């Protein structure tokens, strides 16, 4: 492996011989020289390779073919740049075009392309500044997730993707089957005995129920993996396949959970500011003006707090401004969440104690018998980023809730066992990884922060 451009740029240029391999971003010709900007993906910064004008026949030919998108190898010497745009540049001695990118067919030419257009070429969009930056931030954030938990004594648990239980009614599920649907349609009979697992099976909507089992043995655990939701919500905040981080802590209550969630978000944002500064500066300049300042504020400020009841009272004062009328018992809409975070508190907001009817069966019931010990973290621009709760750890109350909701108790036998044997108060939450990336990058459509988005009717695969 040869050093990357990022590595070259971190050294002091003093005439050392270097070899740069990457993709041509732009080529510019002046009277005295040709400037080829080469990007190798290691960072946003290109290596400027300068060819003087006396280039001979074969080199002139190579320069001709080094058009935007072509892959090239440049040999030369690394010198301090006389120009103002960059610290160092390569005074090029030779150029080799490895793979051409004919200008009449290569889709990514110099001009700026719309995000919509780029979504149609998800195999090429990582070669743009925007998507390169997103990929680097995504990588750093994934690593930071593990760092945060590992530094705090949490164990990473791999929870299954295929499940038989409708985990929590969190969203519609994709069924996993080997039954021949056309045959089923013809015979009119579904025989699950003949299905692969011998019963209806689905892709998981959350790893939580499974991770709780390890929580009640290892104490502090988390899972980080793909989850699937077949909800037909064509929004800029929902994907059919997304990644979720779900910590779960034993001997813990709602307050511990809220503290963990706040520390976690602040750690991630701080890491992004420190280690992805160049990419964030780009997002700030091109995508979301003020991004870096607002993220810096998130790191130092405490998160605002409100109960659901207080939040609804606040929203009811501004009824006229909403499409969906707020009332006690309603599920908070994204417009409500945005209003609370942007207009009322001006930053992240933790809302607690939601009505039990709009939350999952496993959340711990409060003494008022109307609400549960739930906590959502809401942020400006799109609303919910985290959903969590203290779990109902008392067997009788959990069984009663399952019955009330008409769920099949047999499906939850192992989950109930956790309450039968050595039960403990415990709590956890789910952070949507792509929502975090929207937050950190300032991008506005969730389809742009995952390499290959899966959404209803989006068939580029």
Q: Is 76 in the site for Mn ion (CB under 5 A)?
A: no
Q: Is 75 in the site for ligand ATP (CB under 6 A)?
A: no
How many other C-beta atoms are found inside a 10 Å radius of the C-beta of residue 112?
Answer: 10
Quote the CA–CA distance of 361 and 363 in Å, as a whole number: 6
Identified binder of ligand ATP from the candidate list 34, 434, 441, 442, rule CB under 6 A: 434
Total residues contacting Mn ion by CB under 5 A comes to 1
Query: 38 is in the binding site of which of ligand ATP, Mn ion, none (Cβ under 5 to 8 A by kind)?
Result: none
Q: Is 250 in the site for ligand ATP (CB under 6 A)?
A: no
* Residue 309 · residue 366 · CB < 8 Å: no
Identified binder of ligand ATP from the candidate list 311, 435, 441, 442, rule CB under 6 A: 435
Read off the tokens for 27: 């080529």
Which C-beta is closer to Mn ion: that of 132 or that of 207? 207
Quote the CA–CA distance of 308 and 325 in Å, as a whole number: 15
Q: Is 432 in the site for ligand ATP (CB under 6 A)?
A: yes
Q: Is 387 in the site for Mn ion (CB under 5 A)?
A: yes
Longest dimension (CA), the chain: 86
What is the nearest approach in angstroms of ligand ATP to the Cβ of residue 268?
Answer: 13
Q: Is 170 in the site for ligand ATP (CB under 6 A)?
A: yes
Which C-beta is closer to Mn ion: that of 163 or that of 208? 208
Quote the CA–CA distance of 377 and 431 in Å, as a whole number: 9
How many other C-beta atoms are found inside a 10 Å radius of the C-beta of residue 317?
Answer: 10
Q: Is 425 in the site for Mn ion (CB under 5 A)?
A: no
Read off the tokens for 246: 């779900």
Radius of gyration of the chain (CA): 27
DSSP-derived 3-state class of residue 137: helix
Total residues contacting ligand ATP by CB under 6 A comes to 18
What is the nearest approach in angstroms of ligand ATP to the Cβ of residue 27?
Answer: 40
Quote the CA–CA distance of 459 and 453 in Å, as a whole number: 10
What is the nearest approach in angstroms of Mn ion to the Cβ of residue 142?
Answer: 22
Residue 365 pairs with which residues in a beta bridge? 372
Which C-beta is closer to Mn ion: that of 13 or that of 387? 387
What is the nearest approach in angstroms of ligand ATP to the Cβ of residue 109?
Answer: 32
What is the nearest approach in angstroms of ligand ATP to the Cβ of residue 416?
Answer: 21
- Closest residue to Mn ion using C-beta atoms: 387
Nearest CA-CA partner of 207 in 199, 218, 215, 195: 215
Token match 């706040």: residue?
262
Name which of residues 378 to 407 contact ligand ATP (CB under 6 A): 384-387
What is the nearest approach in angstroms of Mn ion to the Cβ of residue 319?
Answer: 23
Q: Is 258 in the site for ligand ATP (CB under 6 A)?
A: no
Pairing of strands 304-307, 426-432: unpaired
Which C-beta is closer to ligand ATP: that of 326 or that of 432? 432
Q: Is 427 in the site for ligand ATP (CB under 6 A)?
A: no
Q: Which residues contact 314 (CB under 8 A, 6 or more apart)?
A: 306, 340, 344
Token match 């109930």: residue?
416
Identified binder of ligand ATP from the candidate list 242, 267, 393, 415, rule CB under 6 A: 242
* Host H or E run for residue 51: strand 47-52
Identified binder of ligand ATP from the candidate list 430, 437, 438, 449, rule CB under 6 A: 430
Nearest CA-CA partner of 93 in 165, 19, 146: 19
Name the E strands within 62-156: 71-80, 88-99, 155-156
Alpha-carbon distance values, 28 to 64, 67, 99, 212, 300 (Å): 11, 10, 19, 58, 44
Identified binder of ligand ATP from the candidate list 25, 229, 336, 391, rule CB under 6 A: 229
What is the nearest approach in angstroms of ligand ATP to the Cβ of residue 436?
Answer: 8
What is the nearest approach in angstroms of Mn ion to the Cβ of residue 399?
Answer: 24
Query: 449 is in the binding site of which of Mn ion, ligand ATP, none (Cβ under 5 to 8 A by kind)?
Result: none
* DSSP state letter for 285: H
Which C-beta is closer to ligand ATP: that of 200 or that of 226? 226
Interface with Mn ion by CB under 5 A: which residues? 387
Footprint on this chain of ligand ATP (rule: CB under 6 A):
170-171, 229, 237-239, 242, 244, 384-387, 430-432, 434-435, 446
């Amino acid at each position: 492996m040869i050093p990357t451009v990022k590595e070259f740029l971190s050294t002091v240029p003093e005439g050392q011989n270097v070899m740069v391999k990457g993709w041509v971003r732009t080529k510019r010709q002046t009277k005295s020289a040709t400037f080829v900007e080469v990007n190798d993906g290691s960072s946003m910064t290109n290596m400027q390779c300068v060819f003087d004008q006396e280039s001979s026949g074969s080199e002139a030919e190579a320069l001709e073919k080094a058009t935007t998108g072509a892959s090239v190898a440049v040999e030369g010497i690394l010198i301090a740049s006389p120009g103002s745009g960059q610290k160092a540049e390569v005074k090029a001695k030779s150029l080799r075009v490895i793979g051409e990118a004919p200008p009449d067919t290569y889709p990514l030419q110099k001009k700026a392309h719309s995000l919509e257009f780029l979504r149609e070429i998800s195999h090429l969009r990582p070669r743009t500044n925007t998507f390169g930056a997103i990929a680097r931030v995504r990588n750093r954030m994934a690593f930071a997730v593990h760092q945060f938990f590992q530094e705090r004594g949490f164990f990473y648990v791999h929870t299954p993707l295929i499940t038989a239980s409708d985990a929590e009614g969190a969203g519609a599920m994709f069924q996993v089957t080997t039954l021949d649907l056309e045959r089923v349609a013809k015979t009119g009979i579904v025989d699950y005995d003949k299905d692969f697992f011998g019963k209806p099976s689905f892709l998981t909507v959350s790893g939580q129920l499974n991770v709780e089992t390890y929580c009640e043995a290892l104490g502090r655990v988390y899972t980080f993996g793909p989850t699937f939701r077949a909800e037909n919500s064509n929004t800029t905040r929902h994907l059919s396949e997304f990644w979720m981080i779900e910590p779960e802590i034993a001997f813990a209550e709602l307050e511990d959970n809220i503290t963990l969630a706040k520390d976690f978000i602040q750690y991630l944002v701080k890491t992004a500011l420190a280690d992805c500064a160049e990419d964030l500066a780009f997002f700030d300049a091109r995508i979301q003006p003020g991004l870096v300042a607002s993220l810096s504020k998130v790191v130092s400020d405490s998160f605002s707090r409100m109960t659901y009841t207080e939040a609804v009272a606040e929203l009811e004062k501004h009824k006229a401004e909403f499409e969906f009328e707020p009332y006690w018992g309603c599920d908070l809409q994204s417009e409500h969440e945005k209003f609370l975070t942007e207009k009322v508190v001006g930053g992240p907001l933790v809302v607690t104690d939601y009505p039990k009817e709009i939350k999952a069966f496993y959340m711990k019931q409060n003494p008022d018998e109307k609400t549960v010990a739930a906590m959502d973290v809401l942020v400006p621009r799109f609303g919910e980023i985290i959903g969590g709760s203290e779990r109902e750890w008392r067997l009788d109350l959990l069984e009663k809730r399952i019955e009330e909701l008409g769920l099949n108790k047999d499906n939850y036998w192992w989950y109930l066992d956790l309450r039968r044997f050595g039960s403990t108060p415990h709590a956890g939450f789910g952070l949507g990884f792509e929502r975090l990336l929207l937050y950190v990058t300032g991008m506005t459509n969730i389809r742009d922060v995952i390499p290959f988005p899966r959404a209803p009717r989006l068939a580029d695969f």
